Amino acid sequence: MTKDNKSNTGDSNTGNWNTGDRNTGHRNTSDWNIGDSNTGHRNIGHSNTGHRNTGDRNTGHCNTGNRNTSDCNTGDRNTGYRNIGHSNTGDWNTCDKEVGFFNTKQHEKVRVFNEWVYRDVWDNADKPSFLYFTLTEWVYEFDMTDQEKIDNNTFHTTGGYLKSYEYKEAFQKSYNEAPQEEKDMLLKLPNFDADVFKEISGIDVGKASCDGKTVVIEGVEYELKRKTVQ
């Protein structure tokens, strides 16, 4: 371990708080990283959990773009593979926001909540920021619980640990922390369907939107309760 660098448990690091080897950045838990807070290997960017990424915040491998959750993308925010464009869930696309394969042109419509809507309507819709949640979060030492310190005993050298969430757990956390005006924005999205949203996120906004509320009809106050009609 290099004497000039503090709190490294790995070897040949030029940064600080690394537990892996040959890192030039900080808070890396694996090896050969040039950026910071990487848990994978041979990353040049920051906050990657996959390997051989040159962009930032990738959970997949071999990405040169940013915020990709899969592999071999040169664009950003792709969940599919080997895309040159951005925000694709399909593979081998050179255009943006496609769900299919080997496409060079966008379809004029997209499916939202299982129904078709014109792409420009969806693109121009106000979307709440809590929808853009992440599955990992860096927790600094001073914010760690006693149990987290027991479970992550390298926190003394890394200054904290990288906490991972399950998909629906992260979705719920982001929703819970959102202001009410953002939650209201969700209900105004094109084709919004509370049942579809619950199936994806685990969040029952339909129940929250009516149960327990009251209405007054001809001077009589009634409490609303949701009932599913078959």
User: How many helices and strands, by DSSP H and E, does the chain display?
Assistant: 7, 6
Is the pLDDT at 229 greater than 60, yes or no? no
- Residues 68/135, Cβ–Cβ less than 8 Å: no
Read off the pLDDT band of 208 (50, 70, 90): very low
pLDDT per position as a tens digit, 86-130: 777 777 777 777 877 788 888 888 889 999 999 899 989 999 999
CA geometry: angle 15, 163, 182, nearest 5 deg: 115
Query: What's the mean pLDDT in 59-71?
Result: 78
- Residues 56/66, Cβ–Cβ less than 8 Å: yes
Query: According to the model, what pLDDT value does residue 178 have?
Result: 95
Query: According to the model, what pLDDT value does residue 133 have?
Result: 79
Average pLDDT, the chain: 81
Contacts of 16 (CB under 8 A, 6+ apart): 5, 6, 7, 8, 26, 27
Is the pLDDT at 67 greater than 70, yes or no? yes
Residues of the chain with pLDDT > 70: what percent?
90
- 99-127 residues labelled b (16+ CB within 10 A) or e (exposed): eeeebeeeeeebebeeeebeeeebeeeee
Is the pLDDT at 209 greater than 70, yes or no? no
Query: According to the model, what pLDDT value does residue 213 have?
Result: 60
Question: Of 227 and 81, which is predicted with more confidence?
Answer: 81
Q: What is the DSSP letter of 166?
A: -
Query: According to the model, what pLDDT value does residue 227 have?
Result: 58
Read off the pLDDT band of 1 (50, 70, 90): very low
Query: According to the model, what pLDDT value does residue 230 have?
Result: 43
pLDDT per position as a tens digit, 165-190: 888 898 999 999 999 999 999 999 99
Read off the pLDDT band of 192 (50, 70, 90): very high
Is the pLDDT at 3 greater than 70, yes or no? no
